[in-house]
């Protein structure tokens, strides 16, 4: 969830990407619509051929083969025959015909238990979305002429979909799947808008144009509310907006507790827009730049120069030019078709992903390392600093291996005479094995960043995006608090810088406990920085330690939450609207 309250017009995500247009073509329009489809198909085919060549060169022939499969689907006679027939006989637009085709295949394949067939449905969906993009040039949600603001309703919100929504007045997000650490929730928090994830069946209950209420504090979603309920929530929404505006005024104030302890409040970002938001919200730097979003939203595959330019711009826009860049964290729920999209795993979150996937493609990985080192060189010339963070580190051997790869990238750049700078190297601590054996690994890293989102789900053996078990993914669970307390204590004892950059860093309850544990560096969604700064100004180190001591004595997550609710109500009662249950 993302805190806050919003009232708006429902906007169903499937109507953005494969628009089920109800318009019927006139006789004179049919020929032009067929030609439009053929043009879009040719452009999509050209995209796929170019992408296949680029991936074959940068990654490998096997990984590039998926795009040949996509082109064969695009050119399939039955596929094309259906689209043409629906345009001519049923007078559908090409977009509407594509939507019908996807619905047919989805219904057909949903009855199959065969993993291969389900993967083919993903391929068909990719082809349909690519065709749809060429047909519409730029998918414009505003073309539906809906009254603003909009509440996006989706099964799950993907990074590429977020890009398409970038200029739309979105005030809330509701998804059927996911959790408070899903893409949708993370993106919502970065934009400071209310969100609720894991609302099962919402796509059957709401249609585009309905009035809908999102209460991110309580996790409630109300569709077509009666006038009295709507009026009450609109009042809450005004209070939420007013509170955010009030807190934004502290952006230029230092992050200091009531007893003078200075904190480092950093931002988690996905894009250049997020970097600018981090500066606007008063962050002291970027504690986590998720580079995978560059890959996920790129039309094909970014080469070294494109990556260097993107990283250079991110650093230049970030507060104090202070940025921690995390290498590619692909896999699990984030995939690109040229890196393992075609390979099905029983449990992808614990499989071939993240740093493991990077090791599988060393030359591809090397391209990113070179781009980061070049961006670090330019940052240093302007007084900035770049750190390099590696995700999902599990063993000491992996740390040693990435250090060798960074040295190799630096040697190559030196030999080529390209400006660069070597950087501090850190590990993202999200695997319980690494947390248990952290003391054995600290000598080989310069800093530690705790990825609490994954650490929690691995520790609790519960997929955070599975609504049946996501209730177990609680950052305030006693087991999570114990392991975090120990990790922070080990790093402080070894004098290694440590930051928590998972979503719990910006949640009021967990912030108080982390501060009490001795943590002084927090990285969070930019929109959460003003509220954390406000809480800190009312909190002393002694009070935080006392709260932590009592919380650690409690035996259940529910009792810890109740206790912290009471303490937060006493410390900063004005921030209740910005907290979640």
- Cα separation, 292 vs 334, whole angstroms: 8
349 and 311 assigned to the same domain: yes
76 and 208 assigned to the same domain: no
403-424 burial string, b = 16+ CB within 10 Å, else e?
A: eebbeebbeebeeeeeebbebe
The CATH number that applies at residue 94 is 1.10.274.10
Query: Which of 136, 171, 204 corresponds to the end of one domain?
Result: 136
- Give the containing element (helix H, strand E) for 173: strand 170-175
Is 132 a domain residue?
A: yes
pLDDT per residue as tens digits for the range 340-391: 544 455 555 666 678 888 888 888 899 999 999 999 999 999 999 999 999 9
Does residue 378 contact residue 419 with C-beta atoms inside 8 Å?
yes
Residue 81, domain extent: 20-136
Weakest-pLDDT range from 78-87, 164-173, 295-304: 164-173
pLDDT of residue 291: 92
Residue 111 reports pLDDT greater than 90: no
106 and 208 assigned to the same domain: no
130 and 29 assigned to the same domain: yes
Q: Catalytic site residue 501? A: yes
128 and 159 assigned to the same domain: no
Work out how many domains the chain is built from and give that number: 3
299 and 406 assigned to the same domain: yes
Name the residue with higher pLDDT: 293 or 59. Answer: 293
**Helical H runs in 76-201?**
77-88, 94-110, 115-136, 159-164, 183-191
148 and 295 assigned to the same domain: no
**Helical H runs in 249-351?**
272-280, 292-296, 304-317
Weakest-pLDDT range from 39-43, 461-465, 508-512, 568-572: 461-465
- On average, the pLDDT of the chain sits at 85
Is 578 a domain residue?
A: no
- Cα separation, 451 vs 506, whole angstroms: 13
Residue 466 reports pLDDT greater than 50: yes
146 and 236 assigned to the same domain: yes
pLDDT per residue as tens digits for the range 395-412: 999 999 999 999 999 999
Q: Which of 429, 432, 444, 426 is nearest to 372 (CA)?
A: 426
345 and 204 assigned to the same domain: no
Is 563 a domain residue?
A: no
pLDDT of residue 177: 75
Residue with tokens 């010339």: 381
- Of 99, 183, 361, 485, the catalytic one is 183
Is 579 a domain residue?
A: no
pLDDT of residue 366: 95
278 and 221 assigned to the same domain: no
Q: Catalytic site residue 183? A: yes
Query: Which of 113, 136, 159 corresponds to the end of one domain?
Result: 136
pLDDT of residue 19: 45
52 and 116 assigned to the same domain: yes
pTM greater than the 0.85 cutoff = no
The CATH number that applies at residue 10 is 3.50.30.10
Task: Name the pLDDT band for 16 (thresholds 50, 70, 90).
Answer: very low
308 and 451 assigned to the same domain: yes
pLDDT of residue 116: 59
Task: Name the pLDDT band for 296 (thresholds 50, 70, 90).
Answer: confident
């Amino acid at each position: 969830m993302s805190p806050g309250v919003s009232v708006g017009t429902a906007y169903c995500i499937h109507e953005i990407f494969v628009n089920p247009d109800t318009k019927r073509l006139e006789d004179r329009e049919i020929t032009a619509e067929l030609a439009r489809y053929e043009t879009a198909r040719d452009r999509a085919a050209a995209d796929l051929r170019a992408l296949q060549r680029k991936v074959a060169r940068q990654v490998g022939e096997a990984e590039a083969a998926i795009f040949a499969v996509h082109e064969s689907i695009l050119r399939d006679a039955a596929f094309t025959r259906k689209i043409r027939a629906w345009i001519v006989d049923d007078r559908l637009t090409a977009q509407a015909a594509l939507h019908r085709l996807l619905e047919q295949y989805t219904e057909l394949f949903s009855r199959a238990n065969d993993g291969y067939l389900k993967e083919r449905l993903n391929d068909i969906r990719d082809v349909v979305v690519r065709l749809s993009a060429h047909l519409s040039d730029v998918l414009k949600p505003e073309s539906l002429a809906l009254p603003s603001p909009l509440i996006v309703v989706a099964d799950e919100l993907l990074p590429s979909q977020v890009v398409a929504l970038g200029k739309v007045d979105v005030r809330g997000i509701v998804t059927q799947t996911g959790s408070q650490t899903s893409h949708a929730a993370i993106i919502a928090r970065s934009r400071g808008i209310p969100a609720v994830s894991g609302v099962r069946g919402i796509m059957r209950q709401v249609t585009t144009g309905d009035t809908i209420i999102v209460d991110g504090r309580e996790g409630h979603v109300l569709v077509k509310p009666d006038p009295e309920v709507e009026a009450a929530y609109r009042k809450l929404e005004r209070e939420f907006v007013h509170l955010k505006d009030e807190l934004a005024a502290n952006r230029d104030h230092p992050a200091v507790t009531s007893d003078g302890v200075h904190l480092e409040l950093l931002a988690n970002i996905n894009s250049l827009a997020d970097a600018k938001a981090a500066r606007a919200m008063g962050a002291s730097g970027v504690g986590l730049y998720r580079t995978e979003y560059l890959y996920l939203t790129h039309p094909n595959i970014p080469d070294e120069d494109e990556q260097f330019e993107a990283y250079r711009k991110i650093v230049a826009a970030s507060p104090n030019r202070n940025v921690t860049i995390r290498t590619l964290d692909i896999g699990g729920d984030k995939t690109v078709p040229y890196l393992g999209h075609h390979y099905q795993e029983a449990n992808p979150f614990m499989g071939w992903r993240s740093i493991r996937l990077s090791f599988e493609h060393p030359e591809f990985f090397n391209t990113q390392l070179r781009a980061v080192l070049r961006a670090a060189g330019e940052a240093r010339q302007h007084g900035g600093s770049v750190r390099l963070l590696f995700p999902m580190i599990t063993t000491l051997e992996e740390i040693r291996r990435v250090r060798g790869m960074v040295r190799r990238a630096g040697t190559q750049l030196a030999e080529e005479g390209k400006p660069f700078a070597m950087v501090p190297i850190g590990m993202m601590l999200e695997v319980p094995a690494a947390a248990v054996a952290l003391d054995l690994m600290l000598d080989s890293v310069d800093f530690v960043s705790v990825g609490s989102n994954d650490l929690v789900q691995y520790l609790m053996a519960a997929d955070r995006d599975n609504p049946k078990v996501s209730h177990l993914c609680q950052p305030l669970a006693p087991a999570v608090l114990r392991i975090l307390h120990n990790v922070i204590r080990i790093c402080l004892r070894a004098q290694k810088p440590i930051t928590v950059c998972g979503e719990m860093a910006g949640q009021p309850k967990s912030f108080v406990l982390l501060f009490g544990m001795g943590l002084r560096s927090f990285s969070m969604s930019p929109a959460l920085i003003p509220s954390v700064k406000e809480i800190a100004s009312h909190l002393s180190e002694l009070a935080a330690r006392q709260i932590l001591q009592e919380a650690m004595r409690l035996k259940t997550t529910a009792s810890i939450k109740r206790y912290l609710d009471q303490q937060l109500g006493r410390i900063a009662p004005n921030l209740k609207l910005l907290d979640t249950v």
